[in-house]
């Protein structure tokens, strides 16, 4: 795209012609000429469907009454070049062009029908706020402000995507967020050369610390309460126009096991839920590997009675344990993917096929052993306890790697896998923050609000991990 | 590190995994799980090993687990290891010895010494330390063929029977590591529970396994069987008893029965002038009244004191019987020698050489302090 700018002329017909040309002669460009007062004709331009007609009418009436009043409402309303006019029209503004003046007036009349606020589909809770973000950037910012009515909340607009001109808002809290991190965010966003930003992941892939890693170094959420919680921890949120998913950064690994609902229950329950999530994360990663290693290498480690049961179940199965487990795990992944993609009407068909064919019939036909079905099912269920961040998918990918290692080297293989994984995780950084923090580098007092949940009355320090300026949340009054 | 070097390193690591791995793996349906082993005397001084292996039935709806029936493989060799290896010629799968729960020695073999066999078993490494040891009069493999009503795998039956020793004090659980430790350390002589095949008293056709009594070993050689009273006396004195039954006669035919719920013993060694050891054994036992078979029995403090006296006499008698047995066979199952060694090392040096004779001449004072805690209801 060239950045040449053409000034508006004083000739109305010429303006209209050039504007049409610039807008690729698009058919939904509406240009209505009307005489506002004697001697001066005004052309109202807008894109059909993008504007709120009633709002435009009101603005025009105001303008007719008093020509000076309108610009008072609209800061920077005067536009001077065709490019400005075209960009304004594309983002839902109406532009008034005059036949005598060499400028136009842009009116913010955006009125697109969008989804209303609903419960977030991917982060449902039993207890806690039920509102989720929508596709409207303004509305999303308003939702954050509504729950966190503080003047220290800072919103900075940025634009990315040369063609798509996607608006985004960077949220932070003055006096808490580290300015270095904030500056780094701005820097990385300004450097994005992409032509179009169609969702938050478009940003994530550009601004992440390590573009080759499997692990997510930013977090996404649909929940305003989670965004506010993150902001208060000294993190930065990036809201993107057109998507309900908000990016939170920096992100550390152990946060993948936290959900905002932990804070909606008493801290005993919250802590227990967190521990269950951690535990099931480990099961999701390691259970198939442990099963394979045990039945192919370490028969002695199982109690005799259990081994006897496993052996008689495995007796008719023609495949090695590792093949069996891969078959079941792949089948589960296929079913899960089908479950997401398929229309709701055919949902029953998939569940019947899944339960009967892949579960019962496969066992009865002697293709897989019943124990393996239990292992695969438990593993699959366990990964669903984690909040739907990308970690979820990463664990499912890594469980294949772990199983493969276990089938080659037994428990030694699993140990090798875990050591390599931890080493790799320790090497990752998210906006300069160590990915395994606060476990490594170790910080006991901060771990108490990561592994379990600290009582809110004792939670008087913000995590130093995100290098906040002001570390104290509150001082007890006693 | 250069790119080439990195590549070489990765290749090397992958090769390590591929070359060193996989070899040790063994699928479960390439294995026979051995549950119990019987060791008999073979021809020409060899060893005859019988392994009990669970049959795994296929095609059934549900896995049967420990309810599977079993089959047996037998082979002979000059040593236990050879016999076990030769067994593979009859077996279509690799034998997994690691899950052996019970090892039964025949008494014929045990009289000649089990030290070498235990040594071989330890060298095989696969056997668990918690493997239970038994000795049986006659052919040991006969015990494997007995199928208990609910369990066809005899190792499980034996384990269950041994656990019963906690309430009867007529047998105990002796594990491989215990036997091995005692053989190596020599702190005391070993005892191995006896197992025998008996007929059910009602259903004469039904054969059952029974564990009653202990075989005493001098070193690694079997020297004699301790019957019920001796076993009870021994377990009481060694403080290895948790429950038993004691009875007191109340008239010519009937008895009053007590359940022993707690037992503690204190052993102490002293010497007289001739350096003959004097062993004081004090027994503290708690008992509950469980059954009164006589009519007109009045339970009051006076009768309870009398019962306690009689019970104490019974306990002393059991222990005396054990002492007579041990002195006759010169087996020091309680580890009196080690007690002297630790408390009086100077005297022990003099006694060490002819300890066997000194032991058989030692004096034992047994004092029982039985107490009846509960009569279980009030009259």
| CB-CB under 8 Å, A307 with B63 | no
In a domain, residue B152? The reply is: yes
pLDDT at A86: 87
| CB-CB under 8 Å, B63 with A370 | yes
Choose one of B207, B226, B245: the last residue of a domain.
B226
pLDDT at B206: 82
| CB-CB under 8 Å, B128 with A300 | yes
Choose one of B191, B210, B226: the last residue of a domain.
B226
Return the structure tokens found at A380. 């699959």
Q: How far apart are CA A249 and CA A236, in angstroms?
A: 5
Nearest to B279 by CA among B293, B265, B297: B265
Asked whether residue B136 falls in the same domain as residue B284, the answer is: no
β-pair type (A166-173, B207-218): unpaired
In a domain, residue B232? The reply is: yes
Asked whether residue B161 falls in the same domain as residue B68, the answer is: yes
pLDDT at A1: 44
Choose one of B210, B226, B242: the last residue of a domain.
B226
Q: What ipTM was estimated for this complex?
A: 0.82
| CB-CB under 8 Å, A408 with B17 | yes
Is B189 exposed, middle or buried (CB count within 10 Å of its CB: 0-12, 13-18, 19+)?
Answer: buried
| CB-CB under 8 Å, A310 with B26 | no
| CB-CB under 8 Å, B98 with A313 | no
Asked whether residue B234 falls in the same domain as residue B187, the answer is: no
| Rounded to 5°, angle at Cα A44 from A40 and A50 | 170
Closest Cβ–Cβ partner in B20, B35, B57 for A312:
B57
Asked whether residue B162 falls in the same domain as residue B241, the answer is: no
Q: Which residues of A are less than 8 Å from B24 in CB distance?
A: 297, 410
Give the least confident one: A3-12, A209-218, A231-240: A3-12
| Strand partners of residue B103 | B37, B133
In a domain, residue B51? The reply is: yes
Closest Cβ–Cβ partner in B20, B26, B65 for A308:
B65
Closest Cβ–Cβ partner in B17, B29, B68 for A409:
B17
| CB-CB under 8 Å, A300 with B99 | yes
Question: Nearest-CA residue of chain B relative to A324?
Answer: B27
Question: Is pLDDT above 70 for A123?
Answer: yes
Q: What are residue B129's phi and psi, to 5 degrees?
A: -65, -30
From A208's Cα to the closest Cα of chain B, the distance in A is 25
Mean pLDDT of A42-48: 88
Per-residue pLDDT tens digits for A397-456: 999 999 999 998 899 999 999 999 999 999 999 999 999 989 988 988 888 888 899 898
In the predicted model, residues of chain B with pLDDT beneath 50 are none
Asked whether residue B236 falls in the same domain as residue B143, the answer is: no
From B212's Cα to the closest Cα of chain A, the distance in A is 25
Is A230 exposed, middle or buried (CB count within 10 Å of its CB: 0-12, 13-18, 19+)?
Answer: buried
Per-residue pLDDT tens digits for A65-99: 776 666 555 555 678 888 888 888 888 888 888 87
Question: Mean of the per-residue pLDDT values for chain A?
Answer: 88
Is A1 exposed, middle or buried (CB count within 10 Å of its CB: 0-12, 13-18, 19+)?
Answer: exposed
pLDDT at B50: 94
Q: In chain B, how many domains are there? A: 2
Q: Which residues of B are less than 8 Å from A409 in CB distance?
A: 17, 20-21
Q: How far apart are CA B25 and CA B9, in angstroms?
A: 26
Question: Nearest-CA residue of chain A relative to B15?
Answer: A408
| Rounded to 5°, angle at Cα A85 from A168 and A78 | 95
Question: Is pLDDT above 80 for A210?
Answer: yes
Asked whether residue B38 falls in the same domain as residue B148, the answer is: yes
In a domain, residue B1? The reply is: no
Asked whether residue B348 falls in the same domain as residue B371, the answer is: yes
Per-residue pLDDT tens digits for A303-344: 888 888 888 888 888 899 999 999 999 988 988 888 888 888
pLDDT at B166: 85
pLDDT at B59: 54
User: In the 8-state DSSP scheme, what is residue A274?
Assistant: H
Closest Cβ–Cβ partner in A307, A317, A407 for B33:
A307
Angle of helix A370-383 relative to helix A304-314, nearest 10 degrees, comes to 100
Q: Which residues of A are less than 8 Å from B25 in CB distance?
A: 296-297, 407, 410
| CB-CB under 8 Å, B126 with A315 | no
Test the B interface: residue of A311, A314, A320, A324 with most B CBs within 10 Å: A311
pLDDT at B126: 86
Asked whether residue B216 falls in the same domain as residue B242, the answer is: no
Task: Find out whether B267 and B340 touch, Cβ atoms under 8 Å.
Answer: no
In sign, the C-alpha dihedral spanning A300, A304, A305, A308 is positive
In a domain, residue B8? The reply is: no
What is the share, in percent, of chain A residues with pLDDT greater than 70?
A: 96
Per-residue pLDDT tens digits for A361-391: 888 888 888 889 999 999 999 988 988 778 8
CB neighbours of B219 closer than 8 A, spacing ≥ 6? B113, B115, B183, B189
What residues of chain B, 38 to 57, have a C-beta less than 8 Å from chain A? 54, 56-57
pLDDT at A111: 82
pLDDT at A71: 56
Q: How far apart are CA A177 and CA A155, in angstroms?
A: 13
Asked whether residue B188 falls in the same domain as residue B280, the answer is: no
pLDDT at B365: 94
CB neighbours of B168 closer than 8 A, spacing ≥ 6? B243, B244, B245
Report the predicted TM-score, pTM, of the whole model to 2 decimal places.
Answer: 0.85
Q: Which residues of A are less than 8 Å from B67 in CB distance?
A: none
**Chain A interface includes B130 (CB < 8 A):** no
Range of the domain at B360: 228-379
Asked whether residue B206 falls in the same domain as residue B144, the answer is: yes
From A369's Cα to the closest Cα of chain B, the distance in A is 10
| CB-CB under 8 Å, A309 with B65 | yes
In a domain, residue B248? The reply is: yes
CATH number at residue B245: 3.30.300.210
Chain A residues within 8 angstroms (CB to CB) of chain B: 295-297, 299-300, 304-305, 307-317, 320-321, 364, 366, 370, 405, 407-410, 413
Asked whether residue B55 falls in the same domain as residue B113, the answer is: yes
Asked whether residue B259 falls in the same domain as residue B128, the answer is: no
Q: How far apart are CA B141 and CA B153, in angstroms?
A: 13
Q: How many CB atoms lie within 10 A of CB A451?
A: 16
CB neighbours of A467 closer than 8 A, spacing ≥ 6? A178, A180, A181, A234, A433
pLDDT at B58: 67
What residues of chain B, 66 to 95, have a C-beta less than 8 Å from chain A? 66, 68
From A311's Cα to the closest Cα of chain B, the distance in A is 6
pLDDT at B61: 59
In a domain, residue B167? The reply is: yes
In a domain, residue B182? The reply is: yes
Q: Which residues of A are less than 8 Å from B33 in CB distance?
A: 299, 304, 307-308, 311
Task: Find out whether B213 and B227 touch, Cβ atoms under 8 Å.
Answer: yes
Q: According to the 3-state scheme, what is the secondary structure of A45-100?
A: EEECCCECHHHHHHHHHHHHHCCCHHHHHCCCCEECEHHHHHHHHHCCEEEEEECC
Nearest to A101 by CA among A127, A78, A134: A78
| CB-CB under 8 Å, A308 with B25 | no
**Chain A interface includes B99 (CB < 8 A):** yes
């Amino acid at each position: 795209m060239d950045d040449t700018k053409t000034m508006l002329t004083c000739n109305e017909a010429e303006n209209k012609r050039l504007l049409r040309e610039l807008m690729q002669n698009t058919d939904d460009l509406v240009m209505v000429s009307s005489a506002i007062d004697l001697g001066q004709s005004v052309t109202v331009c807008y894109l059909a469907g993008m504007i709120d007609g009633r709002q435009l009418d009101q603005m025009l009436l105001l303008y007719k009454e008093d020509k000076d009043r309108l610009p008072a409402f609209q800061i920077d309303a005067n536009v001077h070049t065709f490019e400005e006019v075209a960009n304004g029209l594309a983002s839902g503004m109406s532009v008034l062009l005059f036949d005598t003046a060499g400028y136009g007036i842009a009116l913010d009349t955006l009125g697109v029908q969008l989804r209303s606020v609903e419960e977030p589909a991917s982060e449902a809770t039993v207890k806690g706020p039920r509102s989720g973000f929508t596709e409207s950037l303004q509305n999303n910012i308003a939702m954050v402000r509504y729950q966190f009515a503080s003047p220290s909340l800072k919103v900075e607009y940025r634009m990315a995507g040369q063609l798509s001109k996607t608006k985004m808002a960077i949220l932070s809290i003055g006096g808490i967020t580290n300015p270095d991190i904030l500056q780094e965010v701005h820097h990385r966003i300004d450097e994005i050369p992409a032509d179009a930003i169609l969702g938050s992941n478009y940003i994530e892939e550009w601004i992440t610390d390590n573009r080759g890693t499997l692990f997510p170094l930013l977090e996404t959420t649909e929940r305003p309460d989670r965004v506010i919680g993150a902001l208060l921890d000294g993190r930065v949120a990036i809201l993107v126009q057109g998507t309900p998913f908000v990016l939170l950064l920096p992100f550390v690994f152990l946060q993948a096991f936290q959900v905002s609902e932990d804070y909606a229950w008493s801290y005993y329950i919250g802590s227990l839920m967190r521990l269950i999530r951690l535990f099931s994360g480990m099961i999701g990663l390691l259970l198939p590997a442990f099963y394979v290693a045990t039945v192919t290498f370490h028969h002695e480690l199982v109690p005799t009675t259990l081994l006897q049961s496993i052996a008689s179940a495995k007796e008719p199965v023609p495949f090695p344990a590792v093949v069996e487990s891969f078959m079941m795990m792949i089948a589960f992944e296929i079913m899960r993917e089908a479950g997401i993609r398929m229309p709701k009407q055919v949902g029953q068909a998939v569940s019947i096929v899944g339960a009967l064919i892949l579960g019962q019939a496969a066992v009865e036909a002697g293709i897989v052993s019943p124990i393996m079905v239990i292992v695969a099912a438990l593993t699959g269920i366990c990964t669903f306890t984690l909040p739907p961040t990308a970690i979820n998918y990463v664990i499912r990918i890594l469980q294949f790697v772990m199983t493969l290692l276990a089938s080659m080297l037994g428990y030694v293989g699993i140990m090798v896998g875990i050591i390599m994984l931890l080493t790799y995780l320790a090497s990752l950084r998210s906006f300069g923050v160590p990915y395994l923090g606060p476990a490594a580098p170790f910080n006991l007092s901060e771990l108490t609000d990561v592994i379990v949940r600290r009582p809110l009355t004792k939670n008087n320090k913000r995590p130093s991990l995100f290098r906040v300026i002001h570390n104290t949340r509150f001082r007890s009054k006693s | 590190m250069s790119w080439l070097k990195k590549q070489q390193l990765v290749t090397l690591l992958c090769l390590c995994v591929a070359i060193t791995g996989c070899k040790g793996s063994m699928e479960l349906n390439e294995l026979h799980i051995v549950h119990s082993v019987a060791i008999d005397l073979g021809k020409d001084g060899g060893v005859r090993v019988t392994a009990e292996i669970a049959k795994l039935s296929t095609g059934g709806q549900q896995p049967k687990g420990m309810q599977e029936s079993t089959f047996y493989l037998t082979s002979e060799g000059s040593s236990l290891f050879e016999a076990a290896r030769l067994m593979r010629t009859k077996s279509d799968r690799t034998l997994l010895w690691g899950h052996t729960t019970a090892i039964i020695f025949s008494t014929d073999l045990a009289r000649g010494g089990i030290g070498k066999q235990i040594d071989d078993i330890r060298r095989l490494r696969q056997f668990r330390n918690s493997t239970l040891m038994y000795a049986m009069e006659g052919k040991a493999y006969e015990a494997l063929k007995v199928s208990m009503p609910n369990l066809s795998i005899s190792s499980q039956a034996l384990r269950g029977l041994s656990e019963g020793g906690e309430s009867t004090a007529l047998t105990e659980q002796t594990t491989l590591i215990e036997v091995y430790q005692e053989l190596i350390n020599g702190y005391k002589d070993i005892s191995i529970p006896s197992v025998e095949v008996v007929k059910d008293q009602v259903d004469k056709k039904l054969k059952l396994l029974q564990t009653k009594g202990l075989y005493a070993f001098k070193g690694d050689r079997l020297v004699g069987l301790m019957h019920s009273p001796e076993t009870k006396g021994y377990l009481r004195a060694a403080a290895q008893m948790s429950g038993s039954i004691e009875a007191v006669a109340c008239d010519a035919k009937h008895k009053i029965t007590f359940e022993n719920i707690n037992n503690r013993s204190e052993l102490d060694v002293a010497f007289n002038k001739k350096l003959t050891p004097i062993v004081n054994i004090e027994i503290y036992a708690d008992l509950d009244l469980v059954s009164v078979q006589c009519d007109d029995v009045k339970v009051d403090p006076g009768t309870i004191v009398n019962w306690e006296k009689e019970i104490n006499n019974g306990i002393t008698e059991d222990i005396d019987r054990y002492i007579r047995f041990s002195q006759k066979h010169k087996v020091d199952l309680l580890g009196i020698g080690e007690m002297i060694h630790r408390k009086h090392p100077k005297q022990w040096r003099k006694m060490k050489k002819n300890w066997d004779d000194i032991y058989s001449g030692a004096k034992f004072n047994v004092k029982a302090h039985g107490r009846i805690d509960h009569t279980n209801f009030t009259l």
